[in-house]
Chains A and B, each alone.
Chain A
Amino acid sequence: MKRYRYLLKKVSWSAFTILFVLILNFFLFRVLPGDPVKAGTHDPRFKKENQEAMRVRFGLDKPVINCFETLNPIKVGDCWINPFETQFFIYIRNLVQGELGISYHTNGPVADILVERLWNTLLLIGAGQILSIIVGILFGLFAAWKARTVIDYSALITGLVTWSLPTFWLGIILLFWGSGHGFPIGGRITPGTSSYPLSYQIADIAKHMVLPTLTYTIVYMGEYLLVMRSSLMDVLSEDYILTAKAKGLSTFQILKDHALKNAMLPIVTIIAINLGFTVAGAIQIEAVFSWPGLGGAVYEALERRDYPVLQGVFLLIAVSVVIANLIADLMYSYLDPRVQTE
């Protein structure tokens, strides 16, 4: 029963956060001075009729929410208008139907552009995240076990240095190095190979992934290493480790059966908290390696001032991070038997 209450609490909390994100996203793009039509009106070639047509096309002719004069781009007279005719309602309705707006650049639905790119980003984040977690945890484990030795200090310094590296810069350096060593200089596939056999294409994608994944792993490994090290240091100085040692268990048995699970608990939380940073890293890596993911979409949308795409990416990223957080919370409750009864 307590378990269900815990789950319910977490799920409703996430729902609330998503609602907050939706509202934030809506107003950000309406309150801030970057109205696309206004931006365009500075161009003398942009005719008045075209402006109006554009407003209608993007739904900007409707009142924003209700009767906040300042938020309404066009005065519609009476304040008490039909709430179903407001931009906010249309925005929510479209979202429910999976529509994220229309790109200024391609004139096609933003959702279609993003769905394809989401998979590419997930591929990159997945590979990078798994590798950095494995490498970070192993190094952290080793450092804590061999505390106050050369191994420990080198691991600690490595962790601090990699934490300090700007992701995009490391990407640039690796790309610079890699381009001289036979690595592709960006993208996901070699152009013109779409008719090649599947095995070739998979190998091609893998080759394109090496440098972005390496960048990702190096940058994120440091934090997992540091957290794992300090978490394991705490766990290994707990009384129950002494009990395990007194029971005659070997070091390996103690690490495996008594320390690891307890030390992993903070890692799960860190993975969840880090998802936001992870996305930030993906944006930078994709920008450097021209990886056709969401981050690449941000980079391109910024160059083209394609705000609906930017808005769509932000929404997608924010909602994904909230949901991933929820999953981490639920995982935590399975890992730690104490959570269920709290």
Chain B
Amino acid sequence: MAVQTAELKPSVPSSPLTGFWREFRKNRMGVVGLVMLVLIVIVAIFAPALAPYDPETSEGITSRDIYNPPSTDHWFGTDDAGKDVLSSFIYGSRVSLIVGFFAAFISIVIGGVIGIVAGYYGGRLENILMRFTDTMLVIPDLPLIVVIVALTKPSLLNIIFVIGLLGWTTTARVVRSQTLAVKSRKFVLRARAIGAGTRHIILHHILPLVLPLLVVNAILVISLAILNESTLSFLGLGDPTATSWGQMLNFAFGRGAMSAGAWWALVVPGFGIVWVVLGLTLLGHGLEQILNPRLESHHLMPGRPTVQTEAVDVTGKRSDVPVLLDVRNLSIHYVGDGQVAKAVHNVSFQLHEGELLGLVGESGCGKTTLMMALMRLLPAAGQIASGSIRFGGWDLATLKEDEMAEIRWKGISIIFQGAMNALNPVRTVGDQIAEAINKHMPGLPHGVVNARVLELLDLVGIAAEHKDHYPHQYSGGMRQRAMIAMALSCDPQVVIADEPTTALDVMIQAQILELLDDLRKKLGLAIIFVTHDLGVVAEMCDSVLVMYGGMTAEYASVDSIYNAPRHPYTQELLKAFPDLSKPEKRLTSIPGYPPKLNALPDGCRFAPRCPLAFERCVTEMPRLHELNGGHIVGCHLVEEKS
């Protein structure tokens, strides 16, 4: 069901570090965080040069210097001892950074070792280590740190060790799960198979892959260590010989800055803590986004508005049966990162009452995109760039969202490929079917809806007792059948079956296909059947639309497609498909891959793989030719021959 928008991404550059830097530069949050950190590190290193006064000495300070407001002499005022706040602030950065980095270093080494050992060796050792980690994770760390530091001497070294020795739990968990994931990769298994030592494998194969996550985690650990240090100092447990931001706040808060109105003594040190922690947080967030890129889009984001165009009629009439769904010149683009990917280009077809249309093509040729567009379920980057979708007097391409909601399921419903995740895991199957009925036939009494749900489940061969079960209690085949029951729940006129049988075993596949065909005959549905399986198409379909690279390759009745295919792609597809009536036939596959959506050839999209391609194919995109009986072919050869 996922529509391939990932193809829009440019290919990864050669060197990992330059590539990383190029990615990182684009990440505004990460860059801002890095700049903030670099600045404060510079301040810490050059503290003696930058600080206007020496915070260690109290020479020349009189009682009149206490809590003086900011002035040209003291930019950030003076504190309870009459010292320059700016100078203490500058020196305070040293304590925060030292404690943060060294404590985090201890945590990361401990957590890293525990995580790698647990993940790599597994078994009982892992069990014990992770149990211990979980226990330590539950125990609140600040109260424990407070207690230990209070009982020992509050020196900088003690604080570093206590914070470091208690802060490793998240690291251990992150590293363990990453090690587990990496351990079973091919090259690690291969290294083990050729007898590489444990040390070698961990250092050369596992560590490099764990490292990126470890860095992101380290940033979090550093910021927590800095926050913990400042809290300790604020509570009066800081090293009395080292000025830190937390301690400045402790003195100011405990020694009357509040009543003296000396806001500068309260605001400035806290600002330092926020600066460092925010810098780290932004950097961590930025790195995380690069290491773990998520598609920042979801199904409820508003799509791009349809581009309205005049449809041109290119297809002739093939049947006298009324047309239910009339798709004309439909083009669909994915727009993102300044690029446009033409996923579907100028596709037209008609679906008649009771017709079963097969939609065939390799993966990534725009089948699913086309079907999603019919229901206006394209992802946020998708856009109907031209064409119309006529259904029951409406043009679905331009229909308003709330009107479209009425058409969905009642007019056109869809059976998604891989119903594994298409059902909500926390609601019962019966409830999810009833929901659709309640939505489109409001006001039905509960008993009637319930009876209808049971009837539908019975129709697809699911026993009544499974109605109140959750999807995870169903088998894969049952889930797919439940999905079909759900798709039929509002008596739709058109059902789209998007590869409804992939990922199921052959027996179940056959059952489900038979079921769909039966239902079509019984209920008079029109079905669009999206598939790779030419055998199924031959057996069930009335007409076939073959797509390649987002375009119509050939569109004709099932007889014409099988007995007189005109497009080389159709011919090649048929050669790749076993025919029981000609067992001596040699199966061949088509070399190469379908074109990338962001690198489409100028001419015919199939030309690079076409055995019959000639010059014109490379330079000129073929137009659709109509042969007798509504047989549509998008190939120059048809012209050349006639």
Contact = CB atoms under 8 A, between A and B. Distances in A.
A248 interface: yes
Contact of A161 (B278, B406, B473): B278
Contacts of A288: 253
Contacts of A262: 424-426
B369 interface: no
Given A240-B425, A242-B416, A280 B274 contact: no
B266 interface: yes
Contacts of A311: 147
A280 B294 contact: no
Candidate in A164, A254, A273, A310 with the most chain B CB atoms within 10 angstroms: A164
Interface string A138-179: 000000110110000000000011011111111011011001
B146 A233 contact: no
A80 to B, nearest CB: 30
Nearest to B29: A160
B230 A240 contact: no
B135 A20 contact: yes
A145 to B, nearest CB: 6
Contacts of A310: 146-147, 150
Nearest to A240: B424
A168 B435 contact: no
A123 B234 CA distance: 24
B235 interface: yes
B506 interface: no
A247 interface: yes
Nearest to A313: B143
A77 to B, nearest CB: 29
Contact of A233 (B223, B227, B294): B294
A267 interface: no
Given A176-B263, A303-B236, A279 B140 contact: yes
Interface string B466-497: 00001011000000000000100000000000
Contact of B299 (A165, A245, A276): A245
Given A160-B278, A237-B297, A247-B439, A283 B142 contact: yes
Contact of B440 (A170, A248, A313): A248
B576 interface: no
Contacts, number: 239
Contact of A249 (B227, B377, B435): B435
A65 B280 CA distance: 45
B519 interface: no
Nearest to A278: B140
Contacts of B297: 147-148, 237
B140 A321 contact: yes
B410 interface: yes
B454 to A, nearest CB: 19
A52 interface: no
Given A148-B297, A166-B227, A241-B300, A280 B143 contact: yes
Contact of A240 (B410, B422, B472): B422
A228 to B, nearest CB: 14
A246 B143 contact: no
A11 to B, nearest CB: 14
B270 interface: yes
B436 A247 contact: yes
Contacts of B29: 160
A233 B426 contact: no
Contacts of B263: 176
Contacts of B1: 239, 242
Contacts of B280: 164
B426 A321 contact: no
Contacts of A318: 139-140, 143-144
B459 interface: no
A26 interface: no
Nearest to B250: A168
B152 A32 contact: yes
A316 to B, nearest CB: 9
Interface string B406-418: 1111100110101
A261 B273 contact: no
B206 interface: no
A271 B146 CA distance: 23
A340 B225 CA distance: 38
B295 interface: yes
Interface stretch (A41-49, A84-92, A105-113, A330-338): A330-338
Contacts of A239: 1, 416, 418, 420-422
B426 A335 contact: yes
B423 A243 contact: yes
B377 A242 contact: yes
Contact of A33 (B152, B236, B296): B152
B480 to A, nearest CB: 13
B231 A280 contact: yes
A180 B409 CA distance: 61
* B139, B280, B295, B427 pick with most chain A CB within 10 angstroms: B139
Contacts of B148: 28, 32
A166 B416 contact: no
Contacts of B186: none
A321 B142 contact: no
- Taking each of B147, B249, B406, B413, which has the highest tally of chain A beta carbons within 10 Å of its own beta carbon? B147
Interface string B130-164: 00001101111111101110111100000000000
Given A240-B422, A248-B440, A249-B435, A325 B147 contact: no
B277 interface: yes
Nearest to B227: A166
Contact of A175 (B134, B151, B258, B269): B258
B422 A160 contact: no
B139 A321 contact: yes
B246 to A, nearest CB: 8
A248 B410 contact: yes
A136 B153 CA distance: 39
A283 B146 contact: yes
Interface in B222-260: 223, 227, 230-231, 234-237, 246, 249, 253, 258
3 closest residue pairs by CB, A with B: A34-B151, A280-B142, A276-B140
Interface of B: 1, 29, 134-135, 137-144, 146-148, 150-153, 223, 227, 230-231, 234-237, 246, 249, 253, 258, 263, 266-267, 269-270, 273-274, 277-278, 280-282, 285, 294-301, 375, 377, 402, 405-410, 413-414, 416, 418, 420-427, 435-436, 439-440, 470, 472-473, 486
Interface of A: 13, 16-17, 20-21, 24, 28-29, 32-34, 144-145, 147-148, 160-161, 163-170, 172-173, 175-176, 179, 185, 230, 233, 236-251, 253-255, 257-258, 261-262, 273, 275-277, 279-280, 283-284, 287-288, 298-299, 302-303, 305, 307, 310-311, 313-314, 317-318, 321-322, 325, 335-338, 341
7 contacts: A28-B148, A172-B258, A236-B299, A239-B1, A283-B142, A283-B146, A284-B231
